């Protein structure tokens, strides 16, 4: 009887842990200047509208540091090596020449 109880409890706990690890699928949109992260190969963007810092996780071609971009993605719920900003798995990014990147600020030209 105890074995059955513990087996059932283990299944319930395993299911709950799997449900808690499900990624948030809410879409994230942002734009700003690409900057290097504090860790090697990390890219971050401080959104020009909200001021929120995003850690960009990009598969494939990556934007160049100092480039203005607009991006879309979903929050990433796992661990990353970058340790700064909200991690976002980027599904699409586009260079935006209207975003002028300088050392300290982003200026949008309309």
Q: What total of structural domains would you count in the chain?
A: 1
Residue 34 structural domain: 28-108
* Per-position DSSP letters for 50-94, written without gaps between them: T--EEEEE-SSS-PPTT-EEEEEEEE--S--SS-SSEEEEEEEEE
Asked if residue 96 is part of any domain, the answer here is: yes
Asked if residue 67 is part of any domain, the answer here is: yes
Asked if residue 16 is part of any domain, the answer here is: no
7-62: pLDDT as tens digits: 444 444 444 444 444 455 699 999 999 999 999 899 999 999 999 999 999 999 99
The reported pLDDT for the residue numbered 7 is 46
Asked if residue 66 is part of any domain, the answer here is: yes
* Other beta carbons within 10 Å of 46: 18
* Other beta carbons within 10 Å of 8: 10
Asked if residue 4 is part of any domain, the answer here is: no
Is residue 71's pLDDT more than 90? yes
Q: What is the CATH number of the domain that holds 64?
A: 2.40.50
* H-assigned helices in 21-49: none
Asked if residue 33 is part of any domain, the answer here is: yes
Asked if residue 8 is part of any domain, the answer here is: no
Asked if residue 14 is part of any domain, the answer here is: no
Contacts 24+ apart (CB under 8 A), 60-63: 63/34, 63/93, 63/95
Collapsing DSSP to helix, strand or coil, 16 comes out as helix
The reported pLDDT for the residue numbered 15 is 44
């Amino acid at each position: 009887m105890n074995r059955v109880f513990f087996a059932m409890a283990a299944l319930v706990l395993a299911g709950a842990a799997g449900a808690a690890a499900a990624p948030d699928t809410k879409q994230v949109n942002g734009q700003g200047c690409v900057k290097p992260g504090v860790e090697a190969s990390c890219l971050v963007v401080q959104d020009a509208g909200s001021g929120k810092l995003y850690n960009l996780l990009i598969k494939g071609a990556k934007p160049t540091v100092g480039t203005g971009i607009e991006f879309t993605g979903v929050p990433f719920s796992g661990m990353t090596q970058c340790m700064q900003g909200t991690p976002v798995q980027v599904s699409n990014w586009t260079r935006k020449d209207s975003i002028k990147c300088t050392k300290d600020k982003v200026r949008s030209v309309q």
